[in-house]
Amino acid sequence: MASQASQASQAFSADDDTVERGAYLARAGDCVACHSTEDGKSFAGGLAIESPFGTIYSTNITPDKEHGIGNYTEAEFAAALREGKRADGANLYPAMPYPSYARLTDDDVHALYTYFMEGVAPVADNAPETDLSFPFNQRWGITAWNWLFADADTFTPDTSADAKIERGRYLVEGLGHCGSCHTPRGLAQQEKGLDDGSDSYLSGADLNDWWAPSLRGGDGGDGRGIEGWSAPEIAEYLKTGRNVHATVGGEMTSVVAHSTSHLTDEDLTGIALYLKSLPANPAGEKATTSDQRREASEKTDAHLTAAKDLSEGERLYLDNCSACHLNDGKGAERVFPAIDGNSLVNADNPTGLIHTILAGATPPATPAIPAQLPMPGFGWRLSDDEVATLATFVRGAWGNDGDAVTADQVDKVRKTLKPSALNRAPDANGSLNHEDRDTQ
Amino acid sequence: MSSRIKNRQRRDFLRGSLTMIPAITLGSGVTLTAQAAEPAPNLSDYQPAFFSDEEWSFLLAACDRLIPGESEGKGPGALDTNVPVFIDRQMDSPYGHAERWYMQGPFVLDGSPDLGFQYPYTPRDVYQKGIAMTQAYCQQQYGKRFETLDNDTRDTVLKALEANDIDFASLGESQKLEASEFFASLLENTKEGYLADPIHGGNKNMAAWKMVGFPGARASYRDWVDQHNVDYPLGPVSLTGERG
């Protein structure tokens, strides 16, 4: 293996800059998130990705010649990346975001190829084979899918537009593949729009029951979510996982940890400016104005502060939540996220909120903010009924307008929880919980 | 009897301060009793993990005299609030096993109090030996076990323990554990079980907190810093999430 690696590096005449640029681009593409398991070696594959068609296992993309992609030529690598074609001609499953990576420039593909051949250690491990049931095991069928839906061209910057925004557009549409989660999918699981030519592009989507909110940050909507964030606030969120409005949760936690927190401020600013340039989802008929929301927020705040004639949901909030998220539902900037106006709290599907209440959440450690102050889980302390009552309250309190939550919905989420240090009852017998800390 | 009067006065004081806080009023008369995952056990159903049946009978009788129940005092008593359960559970904790104490000699009994606990005994040992010697004393003195004595006699025995008037050494104690040491542990643990969070097994239904008007583990009272001369309207909440 060592001799192979050194041969490879000789063949590429050690272009450190290109390797480094490729490593940066691999960060931007968050390749490591899918092509590694939690405990496995980087890029050795094997992560089980749940799809509507079954479990898809990511592949080993280290330069190992037998188990990885060590025998790929640059042209084969480019075809895998941009067209979803394996070196043997078979189609990759579109869990690989090649419809987005199709935007990549030749230059960037070259840098990525150089990095994966020279900068990544080969790992001689076989990732598990994906074995979907019929008809989804017929990879040839993807050809038609690709013809219909994976039609993006290589990115060509619009020279008349702001260069920073164009850089952001390239990253968002291409390597960032933000649309994979944030663009709603159609009947064939295709993203409804791969670029801003479509109003559906980045307009928000349900991802395995978690709401991936709209990233269309411009004007014309109801002013909530990212529409109310400034470009620097968006960049800060991507860099640190936090800003004055929110703390990252769910799948996005890993994206911030592995990808966006490693990007340059210039690129993050470009991404933020691009998102702010997308016209917002139009406000629905029932949309509230910011004045109405402010008034409602003040009312809830005053009622909780007086603490008289409380509903059970209000009492649960005071007893469990308000110490951190406060009576105004605004929390504390960069430490405790705001619940008032929070996109996860208001999502049509309450699963993400229920999961967070039951299991807690840990923000990512980022280079800029390494500390991870977690929210504890309340699953050990609150019954399904209580969680439903509490979730219903926070979804209707302040300026929020989410629907009620039922105990059945809570029960369903509770059954999916894995035991963790954050959702376990404290040991009242006085253990110092060293074990808990080790397993977090 | 003077100590009983003092206790009565103390409880009256605590209750007095409670009367200034109106009974907990909740919207539309809903009772907000939490559905705790494991409700506190009835004392009569509880199977002690550490104490033997005989030791358990002593503990119940002694705790009942240290904090008597409604019939004698005006608040809930140690038995109403599962204090013996708290003590039994503590015996199985790092505290009961003296896990974090320095337990090697030398044991300097006549040293400064700053030197701390000076016996080779864990709290488990202190209870077992203390109870055995108190029972031996009661047999010697009254021909009865402690828990079969009438209340006044039990108080006399407890006071004798507190004043160190019972000589443990003459009852066979080899390491010079004194009656007052045992009594101090018992009283301290009883108070702890009465007032600690119900998550530790005592303070059943947060009854002691309700009596003194303590609002429990609500984590933050920041919103009350600016509310002057307003009665605090909320009942207590436990670490278990139990609400009262």
Other CB atoms within 10 Å distance of the CB of residue A420? 15
User: Do residues A36 and A131 both lie within one domain?
Assistant: yes
User: Do residues A132 and A244 both lie within one domain?
Assistant: no
What is the count of structural domains for chain A?
A: 3
Q: A40-85: per-residue pLDDT in tens?
A: 899 999 999 888 778 889 999 999 999 999 999 999 999 999 999 9
Q: A392-408: per-residue pLDDT in tens?
A: 999 999 999 999 999 99
Distance separating the N- and C-terminal Cα atoms of chain B: 34
Q: A306-342: per-residue pLDDT in tens?
A: 999 999 999 999 999 999 999 999 999 999 999 999 9
User: Do residues A312 and A413 both lie within one domain?
Assistant: yes
The residue ranges of every structural domain in chain B are 42-224
Would residue B219 be called left, alpha or beta, if left means φ above 0 and alpha means ψ between -120 and 50 degrees? left
User: Do residues A298 and A402 both lie within one domain?
Assistant: yes
Q: Is a pLDDT exceeding 50 seen at residue A433?
A: no
Q: A106-151: per-residue pLDDT in tens?
A: 999 999 999 999 999 999 988 888 877 777 777 777 887 787 777 7
User: Do residues A300 and A337 both lie within one domain?
Assistant: yes
* CA-based torsion, B87, B91, B93, B95: positive or negative: positive
Residue A23: both structure tokens together: 């490593």
User: Do residues A231 and A350 both lie within one domain?
Assistant: no
Q: Is residue A316 part of a domain?
A: yes
Q: Is residue A221 part of a domain?
A: yes
% of chain A at pLDDT higher than 90? 69
CATH code, domain with A256 = 1.10.760
pLDDT class of A153 with cuts at 50, 70, 90: confident
CB-based contact B227 A305, cutoff 8 Å: yes
- Of the residues A86, A118, A149, which one is the last residue of a structural domain? A149
- Of the residues A277, A308, A339, which one is the last residue of a structural domain? A277
Q: Is a pLDDT exceeding 50 seen at residue A343?
A: yes
Structural domain span for residue A434:
290-439
Question: Distance from A310 to chain B by nearest Cα, in Å?
Answer: 5
User: Do residues A388 and A426 both lie within one domain?
Assistant: yes
Interface contact B89, partner A, CB < 8 A: yes
Task: Tell me the sheet residues that pair with A206.
Answer: A211
CB-based contact B34 A386, cutoff 8 Å: yes
Question: Distance from B232 to chain A by nearest Cα, in Å?
Answer: 8
Q: Establish whether the linkage from the previous residue to B39 is cis, with ω within 30° of 0.
A: no
Q: Is residue A155 part of a domain?
A: no
Residues in B closer than 8 angstroms to A303, CB to CB, are none
Contact B33, B241 (CB under 8 A): no
Q: Is residue A241 part of a domain?
A: yes
Q: Is A303 annotated as a binding residue?
A: no
User: Do residues A319 and A349 both lie within one domain?
Assistant: yes
Residues in A closer than 8 angstroms to B197, CB to CB, are 428
User: Do residues A36 and A9 both lie within one domain?
Assistant: yes
Residues in B closer than 8 angstroms to A312, CB to CB, are 30, 32
Q: Is A245 annotated as a binding residue?
A: no
Contact A286, A396 (CB under 8 A): no
Residues in A closer than 8 angstroms to B35, CB to CB, are 383, 385-386
Q: Is A110 annotated as a binding residue?
A: no
- Of the residues A277, A307, A326, which one is the last residue of a structural domain? A277
Q: Is residue A282 part of a domain?
A: no
The whole-angstrom separation of Cα A214 and Cα A183 is 8
pTM reported for the whole predicted model: 0.85
The whole-angstrom separation of Cα A337 and Cα A339 is 6
Interface contact B34, partner A, CB < 8 A: yes
Q: What is the mean pLDDT of each run of 10 residues along chain B (244 residues)?
A: 50 47 33 48 92 97 94 86 96 92 86 84 96 97 97 97 95 89 96 96 95 91 91 93 90
Burial of B63 (0-12, 13-18, 19+ CB in 10 A): buried
User: Do residues A136 and A12 both lie within one domain?
Assistant: yes
Phi, psi of B143 (to 5 degrees): 65, 25
Q: Is residue A169 part of a domain?
A: yes
Q: Is a pLDDT exceeding 70 seen at residue A287?
A: yes
User: Do residues A259 and A296 both lie within one domain?
Assistant: no
The whole-angstrom separation of Cα A36 and Cα A58 is 8
CATH code, domain with A329 = 1.10.760.10
pLDDT class of A173 with cuts at 50, 70, 90: very high
The residue of A389, A390, A429 whose CB has the most chain B CBs within 10 angstroms, and thus the best one to mutate to test that interface, is: A429
Could you say which of B30, B94, B227 has the minimum Cβ distance to residue A430?
B94
Interface contact B219, partner A, CB < 8 A: yes
Residue B40: both structure tokens together: 């506190």
Chain A residues within 8 Å of chain B (Cβ atoms): 304-312, 315-316, 318-320, 322-324, 326-327, 378, 380-383, 385-386, 425-426, 428-431
The whole-angstrom separation of Cα B189 and Cα B50 is 15
pLDDT at B28: 31
Among chain B residues, the shortest Cα distance to A429 is held by: B93
Q: Is A35 annotated as a binding residue?
A: yes
